[in-house]
Amino acid sequence: TRQATPPLTTTLVMTDFLATDLFAAGLLTATTAPTTPIASPVTLDPAAEGADAAPALALSQRLPRHYFVDPTGDDDNSGLLASVPLATIQHALALVEPGDTIHLAAGDYYENLTSVTAGRAGAPITIMGPSDAIIRGNGEASAAFYLTHDYYTFTGFTFDGLYGDPTDKDGYTQKLLYVQGMGEKKGVTGLRVLHMTFRNAGGECLRLRYFAHNNEIAYSTFQVCGLLDFVFNEGGKNGEAIYVGTASDQWSDGKNPTSDPDASTNNWIHHNVMDTQGNECVEVKEGGYANLIEYNLCTGQLDPDSAGIGARGSQNVIRYNTIYSNVGAGIRLGGHEVDGVQYGVNNLVYGNNLLSNIAGGVKIIIDPQKRICGNYLTRNLGKQAFGEGSEGYEPAAPC
């Protein structure tokens, strides 16, 4: 029986969606499951009085603010009313505090953005707008939005990497939303990406990198990721819709705070529509574990060696997705062995519809895996299960 998807308002913690699968399989214990820190509420000393008490009282009673941004606005405006909007999102990012909202008007925003302030649990910083509010980048940085702070919500608007000549590779922003952890073994948490559109990325459309945990990407559309390699033939295979973690051969490239395996975990990716015309719809790299990928529609993958959805990390759950008409496999499992640790094992794959994928159904590079069963496979040109570690697995067998 398929488990119901948790409601959108559910606080995203491990026990919300993985307890049944991972604890029952013996892959996690109460001592290893990640948890979400809860911020301490602001308290006032009842004995405080006079001048010392006033600033604390003012801080505790600050109401959330709404900032309005329009390409026709002016950064000398307050931005606190739609009639006096700011001109740039970056200026609004410099003003917001936890609980505040940035409202985007329709139009094109040629900015490469960087987060400035973190939200809080229960008081995220929200950026919202209609689908024709489009962040494009301008070529001054590789990412249209470089997010390094916790508790942000993005909803409604569009990232489109085309900012210049569509026939020139230099006319596209490489990464659309790039989420990078900056603390030692501490990544971004509390990110929610809802009802968004991503298209025309030079590389991956959305990246969660370095210990990203307890984030949600849902009800969004991804179209055309990986233009540099898959259209302009730059020679690589970069072009994921959603890329989780850091490849093992990049752990020591200096971009992460440490060279540790990237233990990105407990990220919930669901109800998205992805037509990459590049590489995987979702890929979890070595070190990433216990991520949930469910109820997504995935097509348009063009790499014969990979798949629509891939797990090079371990203990991830891939379920209830429809994965069809990809050049590679429907699903690929298995990662590298690094310092004696084999990555890409003990993943759970069930309840998926795998249709018309050229390479085959489930590509299993490494054994053991857990609970590969209950999938519906039809019209795939290759075998239902194939790869060096596939012996004994029957993806369509009842669970």
**Residue 161, pLDDT score:** 99
User: Using the 8-state DSSP alphabet, how is residue 130 labeled?
Assistant: -
Backbone angles phi, psi at 247, to 5 degrees: -60, 145
Task: Write out the DSSP string of 341-381.
Answer: EE-S-S-EEES-EEES-SSEEEEE-SS--EEEE--EEES-S
Q: Domains plus CATH for the chain?
A: 174-386 (2.160.20)
Q: How far apart, in whole angstroms, are the C-alpha atoms of residue 277 and residue 109?
A: 25
**Residue 62, pLDDT score:** 85
**Residue 60, pLDDT score:** 54
Q: Residues 250, 213: contact at Cβ < 8 Å?
A: no
Q: What is the pTM of this model?
A: 0.86
**Residue 163, pLDDT score:** 98
User: Using the 8-state DSSP alphabet, how is residue 22 labeled?
Assistant: I
Residues 6+ apart with CB under 8 A from 31: none
Radius of gyration of the chain (CA): 22
User: Using the 8-state DSSP alphabet, how is residue 99 labeled?
Assistant: T
360 DSSP β-pair partners: 329
Structure tokens at 236: 């690589």
Tens place of pLDDT per residue across the chain (399 aa): 444 444 333 333 333 444 344 434 444 433 333 333 333 333 333 343 344 445 544 555 789 999 999 999 999 999 999 999 999 999 999 999 999 999 999 999 999 999 999 999 999 999 999 999 999 999 999 999 999 999 999 999 999 999 999 999 999 999 999 999 999 999 999 999 999 999 999 999 999 999 999 999 999 999 999 999 999 999 999 999 999 999 999 999 999 999 999 999 999 999 999 999 999 999 999 999 999 999 999 999 999 999 999 999 999 999 999 999 999 999 999 999 999 999 999 999 999 999 999 999 999 999 999 999 999 999 999 999 999 999 999 999 999
Q: How far apart, in whole angstroms, are the C-alpha atoms of residue 246 and residue 203?
A: 14
Strands 192-194 and 152-155: parallel
390: left (phi over 0), alpha (psi -120 to 50) or beta: alpha
Judged by DSSP in three states, 15 sits in helix
231: left (phi over 0), alpha (psi -120 to 50) or beta: alpha
Q: Residues 36, 14: contact at Cβ < 8 Å?
A: no
342 DSSP β-pair partners: 337
Q: How far apart, in whole angstroms, are the C-alpha atoms of residue 298 and residue 309?
A: 8
The H or E element that residue 175 is part of is: strand 175-180
Q: How far apart, in whole angstroms, are the C-alpha atoms of residue 308 and residue 152?
A: 28
Rounded to an integer, what is the distance from CA 169 to the centroid of its chain?
24
Structure tokens at 247: 């490849």
Q: How far apart, in whole angstroms, are the C-alpha atoms of residue 311 and residue 332?
A: 6
CB atoms within 10 A of CB 181: 24
Q: How far apart, in whole angstroms, are the C-alpha atoms of residue 385 and residue 372?
A: 10
Question: How many helices and strands (H and E) does the chain possess?
Answer: 5, 33
Rounded to an integer, what is the distance from CA 318 to the centroid of its chain?
15
